[in-house]
Structure 1
Amino acid sequence: MGSGSSKKKLRHVSTSNLLQLKNDKLSRARRSISFPSYLASIEGNVEKDDMFLHKKALEDFPSHIDNLTSKTTSLPLTPNGNTDAVFNDMNSPKKLASFSEPSSLPPRVDDDGDIVEDAQLWSLAELYNTLIAECWQGKPQLERDSYLLLLDCRSSEDYKMDHIVTARHHTALHTQFGCLLDVPGQLESFDFIVIYGDGNNNIKEALQNRNLNFYVLNLPYQIFRSKYPFLCTVEIANTLDKRKEIFKTWPSEILDKCIYQGTAEQALDDTVIQGLGITHIINVTLDHPNAFPDTIKYMRIRLDDVASSDLLTWLPKTTKFISAALNDCHATFKVGDRADSVGSGVESSGNRNRVLIHCNLGRSRSSTVLLGYLMEARKWTLQNACDWLKERRPTVKPNSGFLDQLLLYERQLYGKQLSDFSELPF
Structure 2
Amino acid sequence: MGDNRNTMESLRLQFPALPAGKAEDIGEWTYTMRREMQEIVPGVYLGPYSAAMKSKLHVLESRGVTHVVCVRQDIEANFVKPNFPERFRYLVLDIADSPLENIIRYFPVTKDFIDDCLQAGGKALIHGNAGISRSAALVIAYIMETFGLKYREAFLYLQQRRFCINPNAGFVNQLLVRTVLSLVIPGVRCTWKYTSLQLPCTGTK
1:106 alignment counterpart: 16
Cα deviation for residue 380 of structure 1 reads 1.1
| Contact 1:262–1:357 (Cα < 8 Å) also in 2 | yes
Q: Identify the match of residue 27 of structure 2 among 130, 136, 139.
A: 130
Secondary structure of the residue aligned to 1:304 is: coil
1:255 alignment counterpart: 41
Cα deviation for residue 110 of structure 1 reads 8.0
Cα deviation for residue 140 of structure 1 reads 4.2
1:114 alignment counterpart: none
1:347 alignment counterpart: none
Kindly report the root-mean-square deviation, in angstroms, between the aligned alpha carbons of the 2 structures: 2.6
Secondary structure of the residue aligned to 2:24 is: helix
- Measured in 1, the distance between the counterparts of 2:47 and 2:108 equals 21
1:88 alignment counterpart: none
Q: Identify the match of residue 390 of structure 1 among 137, 159, 178.
A: 159
| Contact 2:23–2:39 (Cα < 8 Å) also in 1 | no
2:173 alignment counterpart: 404
Cα deviation for residue 398 of structure 1 reads 0.4
- Measured in 2, the distance between the counterparts of 1:124 and 1:355 equals 13
Q: Which runs of 5+ in 2 are unaligned?
A: 5-12, 186-205
Cα deviation for residue 271 of structure 1 reads 2.1
Output one character per residue of 1:385-408: Cα deviation in whole Å (capped at 9) or x when no partner.
Answer: 111101111101100000011011
Cα deviation for residue 280 of structure 1 reads 0.6
2:93 alignment counterpart: 301
Matched, 1:290 2:82: yes
Larger relative contact order, structure 1 or 2 (CA cutoff 8 Å, min sep 6) = 2
| Contact 1:382–1:406 (Cα < 8 Å) also in 2 | yes
Matched, 1:281 2:68: yes
Question: Aligned runs of 1:9-408 on 2, under 5 Å?
Answer: 104-106=14-16, 125-126=24-25, 129-130=26-27, 133-135=29-31, 139-140=32-33, 250-256=36-42, 258-268=43-53, 269-286=56-73, 287=77, 288-327=80-119, 351-408=120-177
The 3 A distance-change label for structure 1 pair 374 and 274 is same
Cα deviation for residue 357 of structure 1 reads 0.3
Output one character per residue of 1:358-380: Cα deviation in whole Å (capped at 9) or x when no partner.
Answer: 01111100111001111111111
Scaled by the length of structure 2, what TM-score is found?
0.74
Secondary structure of the residue aligned to 1:130 is: coil
- Measured in 2, the distance between the counterparts of 1:296 and 1:125 equals 21
2:9 alignment counterpart: none
| Partner amino acid, structure 1, of 2:57 | D
The 3 A distance-change label for structure 1 pair 398 and 298 is same
Cα deviation for residue 304 of structure 1 reads 1.6
Output one character per residue of 1:85-133: Cα deviation in whole Å (capped at 9) or x when no partner.
Answer: xxxxxxxxxxxxxxxxxx952399986xxxxxxxxxxx6723xx126x4
Secondary structure of the residue aligned to 2:39 is: strand
| Partner amino acid, structure 1, of 2:182 | L
Residues paired across the two proteins, number: 170
| Partner amino acid, structure 1, of 2:40 | I
- Measured in 1, the distance between the counterparts of 2:105 and 2:86 equals 28
| Partner amino acid, structure 2, of 1:253 | E
- Measured in 2, the distance between the counterparts of 1:315 and 1:107 equals 20
- Measured in 2, the distance between the counterparts of 1:315 and 1:296 equals 21
| Partner amino acid, structure 2, of 1:396 | I
| Contact 2:17–2:147 (Cα < 8 Å) also in 1 | no
Secondary structure of the residue aligned to 1:261 is: strand
Secondary structure of the residue aligned to 1:357 is: strand
2:191 alignment counterpart: none
Output one character per residue of 1:145-169: Cα deviation in whole Å (capped at 9) or x when no partner.
Answer: xxxxxxxxxxxxxxxxxxxxxxxxx
| Partner amino acid, structure 1, of 2:69 | I
The 3 A distance-change label for structure 1 pair 359 and 124 is closer
The 3 A distance-change label for structure 1 pair 108 and 278 is closer
- Measured in 2, the distance between the counterparts of 1:263 and 1:130 equals 19
| Partner amino acid, structure 1, of 2:66 | T
Scaled by the length of structure 1, what TM-score is found?
0.37
- Measured in 2, the distance between the counterparts of 1:367 and 1:324 equals 20
| Contact 1:104–1:380 (Cα < 8 Å) also in 2 | no
Output one character per residue of 1:8-56: Cα deviation in whole Å (capped at 9) or x when no partner.
Answer: 5xxxxxxxxxxxxxxxxxxxxxxxxxxxxxxxxxxxxxxxxxxxxxxxx
